[in-house]
Amino acid sequence: MKIKYNKSLLLLAAIVTLVACSEDYLDVDSREDISQEDSEQTLKGENFVTGVYGMLTDFSYAFSYLGVTEIISDNADKGSSPTDSGADKEALDNLQHTTSAGSVRAMWELWYKSIGRATSSIEFLETSSMENAALKNRLIGEAKFLRALNYFWLVRSFGDVTIQGVSEPSERAPKEEVYAYIEQDLKDAIDALPKKSEYASKDLGRATKGAAQALLSKVFLYEEKWDEAQTYAEMVINSGEYSLEPNYEDIWRVYTENGVESIFEVQARGESIAHGVQQYSQTQGARGTSGWGWGFNTPSQNLVDAFDAEGDEIRKNATIIFPGETLWDGREVSASVENAAYNEKAYSSANAGASDTDKNIRIIRYAEVLLIHAEAANEQGNASAALASLKKVRDRVNLPEYTNTDQTALRMKIWNERRLELAFEHDRWFDLLRTGQAKDAMAEDGKTFITGKHELFPIPNDQLIQTPEIPQNPGW
Amino acid sequence: MKNYLLTFILLCCFSGFAQQQTISGVITDDQDMPLPGASVLIKGTTTGTQTDFDGNYSIEATNGDTLVFSYVGMEPQEIVVGNTSSINVSLTVSTNQLDEVVVVGYGTQRRSDLTGAIVSAKAEDIAEQPALNAMQSLQGKVAGVNIINSDAPGTDPKVVIRGVGTASAGSSPLYVVDGIMVSNIQNISPSDIASVDIMKDASSAAIYGSDAANGVVLITTKSGKSGKAKIKVESFYGAKSVLNPVEMANGQEYINYFNEKQTSTGGSYQLSPNQAYDTDWYDELIGTAFSNNNNVAISGGSENVDYFFSVNNYNEDGLLKDQRYNRTTIRTNNTFKLFEGRLKLTPNVNLSFTNENPKGYGVFNDAYRQSPLVPVYYESGQYGQSFVNQSTGLVGYQGAPGETIGRLNSIGNPVANAFYDNQKIQTTNLQGLFKAEFDVTDWLKLSSRFGATKYYYKKRVFNDVKGRWLTSDPTRTSGQFDQLKEENPTSLTYVNNDLSYENKEEFRYNWDTFITIDKSFNKHNFNMLLGLTRDLRNDNYRSYVKGYDVPSQEQYWNIDMASSDYDKIAEQGYSNIRTKLSYFGRLQYNFDNKYFITANFRRDGDSFFKENEEYWGNFPSFSAGWVISREEFMSNSGIDFLKIRGGYGKLGNANVPQLNTNTVSTDPGSNSNNYVFGPNQSLIFGSSFGTPVTELTWEKTNEIFAGLDISILESRLSANLDYYNRTTENAIMNVKPLLNSAFQASYYDHGGEVNNEGFEVALNWQDQVSEDFSYSIGVNYGYNKNVLQDVKPAYDGNTGGSLANGQITKRLQEGQPLYAWWMYEADGVWQTQDEIDNSASLESAKPGYLKYKDQNEDGIIDDRDKVFMDSYLPKFNYGINLGLNYKRFDFNVDAFGVGGNKVYNGLKGVRIDGGENVTKEVYDNRWTGPGSTNVNPGADRDAVASSYYLENGDYLRINNISIGYTLSEDAIKYFSKLRIYATAQNPFLFTKYTGFTPELLQSGAPNETAGIELSAYPNVKTFILGVNIEL
C-alpha cells in the first residue's frame, strides 16, 4: 500500500509540473486576420490599391449620394411613398436638411475613409521592396487619382476641409490649398499612369492618364481656371483614345461598359460572386406592382420640362423610365407603379432589383470633357471652339446645331446642355452652385435657397461632437 | 464489525476504572456511509478530533461531557458521554439554510461561514419551474441577479449580476460546471443540476480573476450516493399560447385610418368601405404550441463506486408553424474510490444534441403591420399581398384595363414569410471532466481536474428564390421566371433557389491543479487553497458554402448537386486561440466560528494581451465576517443567528472580442475591399489596413460591499441585506474614429468608468405549523444604479438602438446609464398649419404629427434637441415566492417583476409607408382634427423616434402557479414516491406597456435593440401537466 501511495504522489507531482509550464503557453499567433508584420509577405501593394477602388462600391453611393447630388437639385424628387422619408431624403429634397443629415454625414465620412485608404496604400508602396518599378509607379498613380477624386468631391461639397496628414483633424485647410493638393495628385497621376490603350486587358477599369487629365480639367473648371481647364480637356480630346458612342442610350448598356466614351467608371458584376455599388439599382428601381426597387431619386417634372423645352426626346427617354413603358429589353413597367418617373440610367437589365448588380456607374465620360472644353473655351472668348465641341454632343441626339456666339447666351446654352446630357450623373447640384444658378433654380422648383448658407453642406454634427473646435460652415 | 468487538471488549475491561475514558465510534451519514473529516468536539472546550477515512474517531472524554458531532451540510448532534465508550452517530442532512454547503470555487464552504455574497438555488427550486435552461427557472428567485428571458424556443437567457459594468466588453457571467469553465449552460439538462451557486460579490469571485467581473455562476451536477439504486422518472407535457396579445384594428377601422391618412397626404385614392377580407394576422400566424420533457435518472453507490446516469429529451415547438427545438442530453457522473477512499477519480461526461428549426421573428413585426384587408390566400390559392386597385379602392391585385394597381404598404405576407424561412440547425456538444482527488493526510488534499468542451454546429439555409419571386406578385407566372432566367443566365436574381451550409466547431479546456489544507488548532480553524490553471479557449473553426439551383426535394440538398452555371461560394477560417495561465490561492481563517477572515488571490496571464506590458494581472480580495449571535452576550437575545460581513475585491473582464494586434482587412465576398477589373469583370480581392489598435488590457472592477444575515423567531424568519458599490475603472469602449480620419472601423480603447451601486434584500419566512401543514414566504428585491463617468473626450457619443428605418434611439454619454435612451421629447400634437409655421418644427411636420420640443430654442429641430431619457435596464427587480404544504399537497406561487426602466414600442412607432395597420388602442385615440387630442398623433404621422413611443417598462408577472400531490410507499406498491402536478407558467402579466412584452432581451447587447420591441418574440403562457416518479 505504501508504495502505491508514493506512486500516486509522484503522478500528481508530475501533473503539477506539467500544468505549471512556461509562459510560452501564452504565445498564440493570429489566425483570423493577417497581422501587419506579416502583410509584406502575404499582400502586395496591388491589393491595397484595389481596396481604394473598392470604396467606390460602398452602399452610401447608392443612397446618401443620391440625396446630396440629385434629390436636392431640381432634376429629381425624393420619390418612393409619400410617407417614406428615406431618412433625410425628404429634407434634402425640400432643402431643409440640418447638421444632423445622415446623407451628408455618410459622404463626409466615406470620402475621408477612401482618402485614408489611398494614402495608406501609397505609403505601403513607397516603402515596399517591389521590384517592378513601373508597376509600382502606376499603382501609386492610381491611388493618387482616387485620392484626388475623393478630395474633389469633398471640397465642392464642404469648401475648406481637413487635409489628412497636413492639417490637424480639428482644422480646415482653405479650399485653395485643397485644390492645390488635388492638382498635384492629378499631375503626379498623369505622369505615372498609362493611356487606356496601353493597359493590359485584365486591367480594364483602372484609372488612366486620360481619366486623370479629364478629372483635372473638371477641377480647373470648378476653380474657374479656364485656360488650364481647356488645355487638359484638349489633351483628352486629342489623345485619340476616346470618342462618343453613336447612340446616346447605349451608354448605359452592359456592352458599352469601358467603351469608347468611357473615361472612368465604377466597375460591377452581377454574376456570382456579385459585386457592384451595393443596391444602386435597387434604391432607384420602380416601386409597386411589377416593380423591382425602392423608387427613390425620381426624375422631376422640372427635368421633363427641360427636355421638352429643348425638344430632346432621345435623352429624355434614355434618362427616364415612365409608367406603362416597355423598356428596351422588353421589360414591361406596369402603368400602376407608384411614382411618375424613375431613373433609367441606374437600371440593370439582368439584375434589376438585386443588391449587387452589373451596373457600372459612369463617373466621367467623353461627352462631359467636350462640354468642359466648350465652357472653358467660351469663358475665354473662343466661341468657335466652344460651338464645335457643343455641336458634337448635340449632333448625337439629333438636336439642331447651335450657332449663337454671344458669350452669355452660349454660356447658358452650355449649362443647359450639361443638365440634359449629364442628368442623374451626380453633378447637377454642384453645377447649380458653381454657376450661381442655384437660388433661381430652387425658387422655380418651389424651394428656398438661402444665400450664404446653402452653397455648402454643413460639417456633420457628429464631427463637431468629436472635434468641437472645427469651424462650422456659415449659416449652419 | 471488528471495531464493534474491540469497543465491546474495551468497554468490558475498563468500565468503572477511570473517570477519563476513551470514546470511539463511527460517524456515518443517513445512508450509513462513513463520513471522513467529520469533527467531534467536547462542548465548551477546545478539545476535539476528526474522523479518519473510514469515519472512525477516538477521543478522551469524561463522564458527563457533551460531545458535539458535526459535518458540513449535516445537522450537528450532541450526545452526553455516559457509561458507554462507543458512540456511533448517524448525521442527517441539514435542513437549516445556515448549514448548507456552498460552492466557492475550487472548494466548498458552510453558508454560515461565508464572508461574501453567494446566493444558491437547489434542485427543488429549479424543478419548480421547468425550462430548457436552469437560469430561466431562477428568474425572480435570487436577489441581485437580473435574469432577462425570451420565450422563444432555445434561447439563452441574459444574466446580469449587480448591474452591467462594461460598455463594449462581454457582459455575461462566467459559468463553471463542476469545475469546467464554459460560456453558457444550454447543454445541461436542469434535471441534472444539484445546485446553482451565484457569486455576486467581488471578494468571492476574485478567485476567478480576469473572468469574473460579470459574476460567476457555479453549477454542481448530481452525483450518486451510496445505497441502493434509485430510479427517477420525470415527465411533463405543456401547451403554450401568447400571454399578452395586442388587439389590432379590424378591417373597418383600418379603412378609416388609411383614408384619413390619404386625405392628409393628398393621396390619389380612398379605400372603398366594402372589402372582401378582414384578416386577423396574429390568429393566422400563431398557434398553440406544445412542449414535452422526459427524463430518466439512475443513481446509487457502493463502497468503491458512486454512479449517476441520466437521459433527457426536451421538445418545444414555437408559436410559428414548423418552428421546433429539440434537445437530448446524456450524462454520466461516476466517482471511483480507491485506497480506502483516499483517492477519488471522477469522470463526468455530458453529451447534448440539439435539432432546431428556427424562424425569424420578423414575421411578428409583419403581422402587426400588414393590413387586415389583405387575405392570407387569394381564391386562386396564391398568397395574399398588399396590392390595391387604386381606381376602385378595393384591396386586391386584379383590375380592369386602365385601372391602377398599387400597394398599401411594403410589408410581405407574414404567413408566406414564415413559410419561406427554411432553416435547420443541428448542434452537438461534448463536455467531459476528469478529476482526481487525493487525500494525502487528513488535512491535506491534492486535486487535479481537466474539463473540456467540444461543440459542433451546422446550419442549413434553403432559400426558394423562385417561390418568393412568384409569391411577391400574384400576376407573375412560372413561365415568366423561366424566360427571365434564360435571358439572364448568370443573374442571381433568377436562380431557382440557393442553399447554404455553415459549420462551426469550438473547443476549450481548463486544467486545474490545487492543494487544499484544512487544519484546526484549538479554536483556530484554517483552510488554505493553492493552485494553478491552464486554460485554452476560442479554438474555433467556421466554414460556409453556398450553391445555387439544387433540386427542390430536400433529400438532394447537397452543395454537390448545385448547378455548375453559378460559381459556388466557399469561406473558411479559424479564429484566434486564446490561452490563459493562472495561479490562485485562498486563505480562510476563523476563530471559534465567530470571527471569519477570507483572502483570495489570483494572478492571470492572457495571450490576447500579449503585446501589452500588462498581460499579467493580479486580482486580490479580502473579506471578513463576525457572527455576533455566537457571542456570550447575545445568548439570551432571542436572535438565532446574526452575522455582519464585508470586504473588498478586484476583478477583471478580459472578454474583449479581438486579438489586440494591428491587422489588415480582407473579405472573400462582396465587400468594399474588393473590386471588379477586366473585360470579363473578374472580382479581384483587395485589402485595407485596419484601424490601428490601442493597447488594451482587461477591464478592472473594484468593489466594496457589506452585508448582514439575521434569523430570528426560532429561525422562522431570516433576512439577508447586501450593499455594494462597484466601479469598472477602465471600461473598454468601442470608439468610432474621427469621421475625417483615415481609418474606418471602430476600435477598442479604455475610455471611461462604469459605476454600479445597489442593494439587495432577501426575506424568508418558513413555518411548520403542524405535522400536516407548513408554509413559506420569500421576498427578494435588488436595486441597481448604473452610470458612465469620466469618459475620455470624444469617446462617448456612439449611438445605437437602430429601429432599422434610419432612426436611432440610444446614445453612450458620460453621466448617463450605458446606452441611455436618446431622442426627441414629444410635446403634444400639431393642431394647425399655422402653428407649425410659427414654431420650430421638423421639415416634415403637418397637422396631426407629433410636436418635438426645441430644447435649445434655436428654432431648428435637429440632433441637438434630443434628450436622454433613462435606460432600458431595470433599476430594480423583485421576486415573491410562496409555498404551502398540506398533507400530501404542495402549492407554489412565484412572481417576478422589474421597474424603473423604459422600453421602446417600436412596433407602434416605426412606420414606413403609412399603409401599415395599427392597434385598436392607437386607432381609438388618434388625432382626428384640431382640438381632438394633444397627445396622440393622427393617421398621417411621421416615424421619428421620440419619447411618445418610450413607455414605462415596469411589470409584474406571476411566473408560476403550481399544485402537486405526492403519493409515497405506504400508499402505492411499486413506487417509492410519485408526484403529479399541474403548473401554469406566466399565467398573468401586469404592465402598462401597450406592446406584447416589456421583457425585451433581443441580442442582449446594450447598443443594439435591447429594450426595443421590434421583431420580438411575444411572452407566452404555458400550462404544464407532469409526473415525477421514484422507484
A254 domain residue, yes or no? yes
Mean pLDDT, residues A348-360:
88
Mean pLDDT, residues B18-38:
76
Mean pLDDT, residues B897-904:
92
Mean pLDDT, residues A144-162:
97
Name the residue type at position B907: L
Contacts of B410 in chain A (CB under 8 A): 81
Interchain contact, A335 vs B404, CB within 8 Å: yes
Contacts of A466 in chain B (CB under 8 A): 736, 738-739, 794, 797
Query: Do both A259 and A156 map to the same domain?
Result: no
Here the ipTM equals 0.90
Nearest-CB residue to A28 (from B573, B579, B738): B579
Q: For A17-34, what is each residue's pLDDT tens digit?
A: 555 556 678 888 777 766
**Percentage of chain B lying above the pLDDT 70 cut:** 96
To the nearest whole angstrom, how far is the Cα of A389 from the nearest Cα of chain B? Answer: 30
CATH of the domain at A76: 1.25.40.390
Specify the pLDDT at position A20: 56
Neighbours of A334 (CB within 10 A): 19
Specify the pLDDT at position A117: 95
Beta carbons of B727 and B752 less than 8 angstroms apart: no
Residue A361 has pLDDT above 80, yes or no: yes
A140 domain residue, yes or no? yes
Query: Do both A162 and A256 map to the same domain?
Result: no
Most trustworthy range by pLDDT among B33-42, B699-708, B737-746: B699-708
Specify the pLDDT at position B6: 44
Specify the pLDDT at position B273: 92
Residue B133 has pLDDT above 80, yes or no: yes
Specify the pLDDT at position B409: 86
Q: Which residues contact B1016 (CB under 8 A, 6 or more apart)?
A: B150, B361, B364, B995, B996, B997, B1000, B1002
Contacts of A83 in chain B (CB under 8 A): 261, 265, 911-915, 940, 943
Backbone dihedral angles phi then psi of residue B295, each to the nearest 5 degrees: -140, 135
Alpha helices in B402-543 (DSSP H): 414-420, 465-471, 478-487
Helix (H) or strand (E) holding B1025: strand B1020-1030
User: What pairs with residue B683 in β-bridges?
Assistant: B676
Interchain contact, B743 vs A26, CB within 8 Å: no
Number of independent structural domains in chain A: 2
Query: Do both A49 and A184 map to the same domain?
Result: yes
Angle among Cα B116, B120, B123 to the nearest 5 degrees reads 160
Distance in angstroms (rounded) separating the CA atoms of residues B797 and A460 = 13
A235 domain residue, yes or no? no
- Set of cell numbers at residue B767: 413555518
Nearest-CB residue to B607 (from A28, A94, A164): A28
Query: Do both A285 and A185 map to the same domain?
Result: no
Beta carbons of B235 and B1027 less than 8 angstroms apart: yes
Distance in angstroms (rounded) separating the CA atoms of residues B789 and B815 = 5
Beta carbons of B854 and A98 less than 8 angstroms apart: no
Specify the pLDDT at position B962: 92
For residues B117 and B462, the model is more confident at: B462
Q: For A293-337, what is each residue's pLDDT tens digit?
A: 899 999 999 999 999 999 999 999 999 999 989 999 888 888 878
Q: Which residue of B has its CA nearest to A30?
A: B576
A212 domain residue, yes or no? no
Query: Do both A176 and A61 map to the same domain?
Result: yes
Distance in angstroms (rounded) separating the CA atoms of residues B700 and B647 = 17
Name all domains of chain B by residue range, CATH numbers in brackets: 2-94 (2.60.40.1120), 661-694 (no CATH), 796-1031 (no CATH)
The domain in which residue A344 lies consists of 243-264+277-364
Specify the pLDDT at position B634: 82
Interchain contact, B448 vs A50, CB within 8 Å: no
Specify the pLDDT at position B8: 42
Most trustworthy range by pLDDT among A1-5, A411-415, B667-671, B970-974: A411-415
Query: Do both A48 and A177 map to the same domain?
Result: yes
Q: Which residues contact B932 (CB under 8 A, 6 or more apart)?
A: B926
User: What pairs with residue B503 in β-bridges?
Assistant: B458, B543
Q: How confident is the model at residue B977 (pLDDT cuts 50, 70, 90)?
A: confident
- How large is the greatest C-alpha to C-alpha distance in chain B, in angstroms? 123
SS3 for B622-638, per residue? EEEEEEHHHCHHHCCCC
Nearest-CB residue to B659 (from A32, A81, A463): A32
Query: Do both A68 and A154 map to the same domain?
Result: yes
Task: Report which of A287, A285, A316, A284 is spatially closest to residue A303, judged by C-alpha positions.
Answer: A316
Q: For B135-156, what is each residue's pLDDT tens digit?
A: 988 888 888 888 888 888 888 8
Q: Quick one: how many helices (H) and strands (E) in chain B?
A: 13, 55
Specify the pLDDT at position B17: 44
To the nearest whole angstrom, how far is the Cα of A69 from the nearest Cα of chain B? Answer: 19
A162-166, A336-340, A441-445: range with lowest mean pLDDT: A336-340
B773-789 vs B747-768, strand pairing mode: antiparallel
To the nearest whole angstrom, how far is the Cα of B538 from the nearest Cα of chain A? Answer: 11
**Percentage of chain A lying above the pLDDT 90 cut:** 72
Strands (DSSP E) found in B592-698: 595-606, 616-627, 639-653, 663-665, 675-677, 682-684, 688-689
Q: How confident is the model at residue B440 (pLDDT cuts 50, 70, 90)?
A: confident
Backbone dihedral angles phi then psi of residue B782, each to the nearest 5 degrees: -130, 135
Q: Which residue of B has its CA nearest to A258?
A: B679
To the nearest whole angstrom, how far is the Cα of A350 from the nearest Cα of chain B? Answer: 5
Query: Do both A175 and A304 map to the same domain?
Result: no
Specify the pLDDT at position A307: 96
Specify the pLDDT at position B112: 80
Backbone dihedral angles phi then psi of residue A268, each to the nearest 5 degrees: -155, 155
For residues B221 and B714, the model is more confident at: B221
For an interface test with B, the pick among A10, A50, A178 (most B C-beta atoms closer than 10 Å) comes out as: A50
Q: For A165-207, what is each residue's pLDDT tens digit?
A: 998 888 999 999 999 999 999 999 999 999 999 999 999 999 9
Q: How many CB pairs under 8 A join A and B?
A: 329
Nearest-CB residue to A112 (from B397, B740, B940): B740
A142 domain residue, yes or no? yes
Backbone dihedral angles phi then psi of residue B968, each to the nearest 5 degrees: -120, 175
Distance in angstroms (rounded) separating the CA atoms of residues B1024 and B1010 = 29
For residues B168 and B899, the model is more confident at: B899
Specify the pLDDT at position B16: 41
Strands (DSSP E) found in A252-350: 262-266, 296-299, 320-321, 342-343
Specify the pLDDT at position B633: 87
A393 domain residue, yes or no? no
Specify the pLDDT at position B987: 92
Task: Report which of B240, B287, B278, B251 is spatially closest to residue B415, judged by C-alpha positions.
Answer: B287
Q: Is the peptide bond before A273 cis (omega within 30 degrees of 0)?
A: yes
C-alpha torsion angle, residues B276, B282, B285, B288 (rounded to 10): -130
To the nearest whole angstrom, how far is the Cα of B637 from the nearest Cα of chain A? Answer: 51
Strands (DSSP E) found in B486-576: 498-521, 524-548, 569-574
Distance in angstroms (rounded) separating the CA atoms of residues A120 and A107 = 20
Residue B36 has pLDDT above 80, yes or no: no
Q: Which residue of A has its CA nearest to B939?
A: A83
A470 domain residue, yes or no? no
Neighbours of B1002 (CB within 10 A): 21
Residue B648 has pLDDT above 50, yes or no: yes
Interchain contact, A289 vs B475, CB within 8 Å: yes
Q: Which residue of A has its CA nearest to B390?
A: A336
Q: For B786-799, what is each residue's pLDDT tens digit?
A: 888 888 877 877 88
Mean pLDDT, residues A254-265:
94
Contacts of B862 in chain A (CB under 8 A): 98-100, 461
Interchain contact, B744 vs A51, CB within 8 Å: no
Specify the pLDDT at position B102: 86
Q: How confident is the model at residue B666 (pLDDT cuts 50, 70, 90)?
A: confident
Distance in angstroms (rounded) separating the CA atoms of residues B476 and B467 = 11
Most trustworthy range by pLDDT among A369-373, B733-737, B975-979: A369-373
Nearest-CB residue to A102 (from B532, B610, B806): B806
Query: Do both A119 and A256 map to the same domain?
Result: no
Residue B659 has pLDDT above 80, yes or no: no
Q: Which residues contact B1006 (CB under 8 A, 6 or more apart)?
A: B164, B167, B171, B800, B810, B818, B819, B872, B873
Q: For A385-405, what is each residue's pLDDT tens digit?
A: 999 999 999 999 999 999 999
B127-131, B215-219, B752-756: range with lowest mean pLDDT: B127-131
Nearest-CB residue to B473 (from A54, A96, A290): A290
Query: Do both A174 and A63 map to the same domain?
Result: yes
Mean pLDDT, residues B376-384:
93
Mean pLDDT of chain A: 91
Query: Do both A182 and A247 map to the same domain?
Result: no
A233 domain residue, yes or no? no
Query: Do both A188 and A49 map to the same domain?
Result: yes
Name the residue type at position B408: L
To the nearest whole angstrom, how far is the Cα of B567 from the nearest Cα of chain A? Answer: 5
Q: For A421-441, what is each residue's pLDDT tens digit?
A: 999 999 999 999 999 999 999
Interchain contact, B615 vs A90, CB within 8 Å: no
Q: How buried is B40 (Cβ within 10 angstroms: 0-12 exposed, 13-18 middle, 19+ buried)?
A: buried
Residue B681 DSSP SS3? coil
